Structure 1
Amino acid sequence: MRIALAGLATSHPYTDARTLARHAELVVWEPDGERLRRFTEEHPEARVAGSLGEALDGGPDGVVLTVPNPRVPEALAAVLETGAACFVNKPAAATREQLDRLDRLPIHDRVMSGSVLRFAPAFAGWAADPAGVLSVRATVRHDVGLWATGYNAWQDNPSEGGGTLVTMGARGGAAGGAARPGRAAGGRRGRRPALRDAPVGGHRGHGAAVGERRDGRGGGRRRERRGVVRRHRPPARRGRARGDRGR
C-alpha cells in the first residue's frame, strides 16, 4: 500500500505518518524545505516528490492532504483526478469563499475531513444510551507555546486559516458532533451542537461545544452548563398569538 502525504502545513501529518509508516510505503511532498527536512529525518525511508503531481503519479492508495486553507481546493482537485481515498486535515475550509470553491469540486464518498480526536480509542469506544442524554459538552485545550513563536501565522488570520474559533473550536465541534444525542444506532437525532465559549481573539485557548435538545415535557428544555443541568421553560407570550385577533 502506498500513501501520499501531500503537504506538511501543520503538525498533523507528522503524527499521521508515525502510524501510517507501520502499514504503508510513504511518499511525501512539501514545498517548504525546513518542514520537509524535519519529516525526512524521522522517516528517511519515505520517497520525496518534487511536486504534488509527482506525489500523485501512479495513483496512491490514499492521500493525506495538508496544505494552507487557501490552497486546499486546487490541491484537492488534483487528488480527485486520481480517484484515491483522501483525508483532508482540518479545517478543509475556513472562509465562505473557500467553502464555495470546495462545493464546486466533484467530491466523491472517499473524501473526508475532520479532527482525528473523534477517532481516539478512548473516545470512539465511549457509549451512552441516547434516551438518557440531554446534552453534550466537549472542551478542548491546546498548548499555545508553539504559536507564540509565530509558527503558522496564517492559521490565526481569519481570511486564510479561519482564526482561533475555527482552528481550535473545530476540535470541540467534532467531538460534540460525534457524541451528540441521537447519533447512536436506534436513537433519535437531537439538535446539532453549537460552538460556545470559544475564544475569538488572536491567542489559542480552548473550544467548547454544547448540544441541546427539547426534553418533550411541557415544552421545557434542559441545558447542561458547566456540569449543571437546569430546567428552562420558555418565556410567557406577550399579547395575542397570530390568528387570535378578535377573539
Structure 2
Amino acid sequence: MFRVAFAGVAHSHPFADAANLAAIGGTPTAVWDADDPARRDDFAARFETPVAADLDALLADAPDLVVATPRTPRAAAVASACAAAGIPVFLNKTVAASSDAVAAFDRLDAAGARFSTASVLRFAPAVSAFAERVDPARMLAVEVSAQHDIAGFLAPERAWQDDPEGAGGTILNVGLHAFELLDAVIPGARPTIAVGRSARGELPTRSETVAIALGSVHGVPLTVAVSGVPGPDRYAIRVLAPDGAHELVLGDGDDLGYTGLARRLADVARGGDAPVPWRRSRESYRAALSFAALTREDAR
C-alpha cells in the first residue's frame, strides 16, 4: 500500500492515473487544483478524495507520491514545492512551454529533486517491444508522428492548452508525444530540427492545426508530423533500415501505457527511481520548443 496525492487535474490523465494506482494499492490522500474547481470536485467525488485547501495543505499530509497535473505555467512551482517537502512527484505533460521553464526544471534536477515527467506512450508494451527490434546504428531515416484531435483544446475550459504562450499549443501538447516516442525507441535521441511548416485551416486555433518538421537524429534524416485534425488518436514511428521499413502504430483501443506508468509510479512511491530521468525528458522539450519557434517564425 502507498499514499498518493494529486496536485492539479488540468486534463484527463490524472483520472486514469488515480484509477490505475488504486488498482495496485494506491490510496488517494487529497486533491488540489487552483484553476479548475469543477474538474477538481468531479475528481474528489469520483475517487472519494478530500479537497486540500492549498498546495501546502496537500503536501503537509506527507504522501508517498504526488501526481501533478496543473496547468503548464504552474508546473515548475508545483515541482519545486514537492522538492522542498521532500516528496517525489511525477508531472503529466505538458510542463514547459518556454526555455525559462525548462531552465527551472534544470535547476531542480541539479539540486537533486525527485521529479520526473513523460508521455504515457513511453510505458506502452508495444513501444518497448519495438525498441528491442530497432538498431539505431543501422538507421537510414526516421519518421515519427502524433495525431490528437485538438477540439478539446478549443473548448473554453481547455483553451489554455491552445495558447502558445501558456501551454504551448498543438506543437507542444501533441508534438511531445512524438518526441517522447522517438526517445523511447532511440534512447538519448537528441533530435535537432532544421525547418518547420504549419497550417491552421478552418479550426479557430491560436497555435496550429498541423505542423511538419525536418531535422536529424543520430546523424540520419528525421521527419516529424504533428496534427490535431478531427479523428482518432494515432501515434507512429517508422524506421527505415537496409533490411526494410520497421513501423509501429498505436491508436484508440491499444495499450497506450497508462497501466505501465502506474506500475512505475508505484515503484517511485515505495522508494524507487524516477521512471524517466529529466535529462531525457528535457530533450523532448528542447526539440519541441525548437520546432515551435522555427515553425511559428516562418508563419509570421
* Structure 1 residue 103, shift from structure 2 partner: 3.4
Secondary structure of 2:80 counterpart: helix
CA distance in 1, matches of 2:39, 2:96: 22
Percent of counterpart pairs with the same letter? 31
Tell me the residue number matched to 1:160.
166
By percentage of residues, which structure has more helix?
A: 2
Matches within 5 A, 1:62-73: 62-73=65-76
Matched positions, count:
215
Unaligned 5+ runs, structure 1: 184-188, 215-221, 232-247
- The corresponding residue for 1:171 is 177
Q: Is the 8 A contact 2:197 2:212 kept in 1?
A: yes
Counterpart mapping for 1:81-230 below 5 A: 81-105=84-108, 107-108=111-112, 110-126=114-130, 127-130=132-135, 131-180=137-186, 183=187, 192-194=190-192, 199=198, 201=200, 202-205=207-210, 211-214=216-219, 223=221
- Give the Å deviation of 1:29: 1.1
Residue 60 of structure 2 is aligned to residue 57 of structure 1: yes
Tell me: CA distance 1:109–1:223, structure 2 relative to 1, closer, same or farther (3 Å): same
- With a CA cutoff of 8 Å and minimum separation of 6, indicate the structure with the bigger relative contact order: 2
State whether residues 199 and 211 of structure 2, in contact with CA within 8 Å, keep that contact through their aligned partners in structure 1: no
CA RMSD of aligned residues (A): 3.1
8 Å contact kept, 1:140–1:206: no
Q: What is the deviation of 1:212? A: 3.7
* Equivalent position SS for 1:146: helix
Q: Match of 1:25, as an amino acid? A: T
Q: What residue identity is the alignment partner of 2:58?
A: A
Deviates more, 1:33-42 or 1:52-61: 33-42
1:72–1:79 CA distance, 2 compared to 1 (3 A): same
The TM-score, its normalising length taken from structure 2, stands at 0.62
Q: Is the 8 A contact 2:153 2:161 kept in 1?
A: no
Bigger-Rg structure (1/2): 1
Q: 1:175-210 deviations in whole A, cap 9, x for unaligned?
A: 011112xx3xxxxx7x53346767465344577787
C-alpha contact 1:142 1:206 (8 A) present in aligned 2: no
CA-to-aligned-CA distance 1:9-38 (integer Å, 9 cap, x gap) = 122211211211222111211233211122
CA 1:174 to 1:224, structure 2 compared with 1: closer, same or farther past 3 Å? closer
1:33 aligns with 2:37: yes
